Every structure is written in C-alpha cells, then in structure tokens.
A and B are shown apart, each in its own frame.
Chain A
Amino acid sequence: AQKITQTQPGMFVQEKEAVTLDCTYDTSDQSYGLFWYKQPSSGEMIFLIYQGSYDEQNATEGRYSLNFQKARKSANLVISASQLGDSAMYFCAMREGLGNQFYFGTGTSLTVIP
C-alpha cells in the first residue's frame, strides 16, 4: 500500500482565491510527522509546513495551513490568497516515528491563473 496518496495530479486556482491540495497517508505508527514541500520548475524542494501526529491544533505558516484529520488519515494543504508564484508541484511527505525515511506522494501540480 502507498504510504502517501495524492489524488490530484493537477489543480487550477484563480489568483487571490484559496485552494486545497489533498493528501492521505497510511501508517500503523502512533507517532509520525507530516510535511508539505513545494517544488518550483527550478527543481529545489522547499519546506512549507509540518504537522506532528500528536499536535492537537492544525499547523499554520503564513498563507499555508494544514487541515489535519487524524481519524481520516488526511493532511490536506490549504493555500489562502493564491499568488502567481505559488504555481509549482506540491508534495506531501511522512516520516514514521524516528524512522529515517521520508515517504513522498506523487505530487500535485498547481497552476495559479491571473
């Protein structure tokens, strides 16, 4: 089974609107961390936001927030007030416990339309 599933290969959003990128995960560990990364066309992976499995509140970082629904095993990324510079690939990732591996999804390509 896939550890991380991103079901939206591509998404479009109007500039200044909000958009939600979906991510579901699969783990039997009680302790895990969930991450979102942005990968522009230049190729570098940029860390956006982190959610720990024991965190009671949803993580927020500026215009990014993580809608964490533990029972559903989902960790959707919400980008508010989209900007043209947000156009990129977005990857959801998970680290189980103190494990060394990050498991990445297949990514969602976001295009912001002016």
Chain B
Amino acid sequence: GAGVSQTPSNKVTEKGKYVELRCDPISGHTALYWYRQSLGQGPEFLIYFQGTGAADDSGLPNDRFFAVRPEGSVSTLKIQRTERGDSAVYLCASSLGTSGSSYNEQFFGPGTRLTVL
C-alpha cells in the first residue's frame, strides 16, 4: 500500500516569499503530524491534526507558519514571508490516531527540503 507522500521533494525560494508544502497521509490515518528537521538535529514537532482540526499547534514557531487539513486527509503547511532560518527538511507523519496507550506508531513521509535563499 501507499505510504505517506510529500510534495514537492525539494523547494527553493527567495527570502520573503510564500510557500506551501503538501502531505498526503496513509489512507485511513486520522492523525497527522508536521515536523521540522534542521541539519544535524532530530525532528522537531510543529503541529498535530486529529481529523480536520489542529489539536495541538504548540510547536509552530511563529504566526508565519500555518497548516490546514480541510477534509481530514491531505494537509498543507504554509509559510509566509519565508526567512533563511526556515531552511530545513519538513517531515509529515501519520498514524491511526490516539489510543488508550502511549503506543502510536507514526509513519513518516520522505520530507520536503526547503531552501530559502
């Protein structure tokens, strides 16, 4: 079956521009996560969706970052007025959803490498 897909795989933009990064989760997965991975670091949580709603957006660094998931499937991460410091790999993950235990395996996409010049 298809895994998590992300497009584009690479995005180069100029400082100040607007970008959109897309994530297509595994079919049937209700939970969707966005992470940012800077060079030499582990993934850093940005936002979590359960269904269509953003259940936890505490990891978004500032109001230039926004994400939507209007139909509870595909999600788009939007970055306004990009800055050089936004350059990173943006990872998307999905899972079946929260359960009664702490086990909740996340399946990751290949990531989008964003470069802001």
11 CB-based A-B contacts, threshold 8 Å: A31-B102, A35-B105, A44-B109, A50-B103, A53-B102, A100-B48, A100-B56, A100-B98, A102-B33, A104-B43, A107-B40
B41 to chain A, nearest CB (A): 6
Cβ of A64 < 8 Å from any Cβ of B?
Answer: no
Closest partner residue, chain A, to B100 (CB atom):
A98
CB within 8 Å of B: which A64-114 residues: 91, 93, 95-98, 100-107
Please tell me if the beta carbons of B102 and A91 are within 8 angstroms of each other in the complex. Answer: no
Interface status of B85 (Cβ within 8 A of chain A): no
**B residues with CB within 8 A of A:** 31, 33, 35, 40-45, 48, 55-56, 58-59, 89, 91, 93, 98, 100-111, 113
CB pair B48 A101 closer than 8 Å: yes
Q: Is A47 an interface residue (CB 8 A)?
A: yes
B42 interface neighbour in A31, A42, A96, A107, Cβ under 8 Å: A107
Q: Which of B31, B42, B55 contacts A91 (CB 8 A)?
A: B42
Q: Is the interface of B mostly helix, strand, loop or mixed?
A: loop
Please, which residues of chain A bring their CB within 8 A of the CB of B89? 43
- Top 3 A-B pairs ranked by shortest CB distance? A104-B42, A33-B102, A45-B108
The answer to whether A47 and B102 touch across the interface, beta carbons within 8 angstroms, is: no
How many interface residues does chain A have, given as a range?
20 to 34
Interface residues, chain A, with chain B CB atoms under 8 Å away: 4, 31-33, 35, 37, 42-47, 50, 52-53, 91, 93, 95-98, 100-107
* CB contact under 8 A between A91 and B43, given known A45-B91, A101-B48: yes
Shortest CB-to-CB span from A89 to chain B, Å, is 9
* Distance to closest chain A CB from B46 (angstroms): 10
Contacts of B33 in A (CB 8 A): 100, 102
Cβ–Cβ contact A42 & B59, under 8 A: no
Q: Which residues of A contact B43 (CB under 8 A)?
A: 45, 91, 102, 104
- Bound CA–CA A98/B91 (angstroms): 21
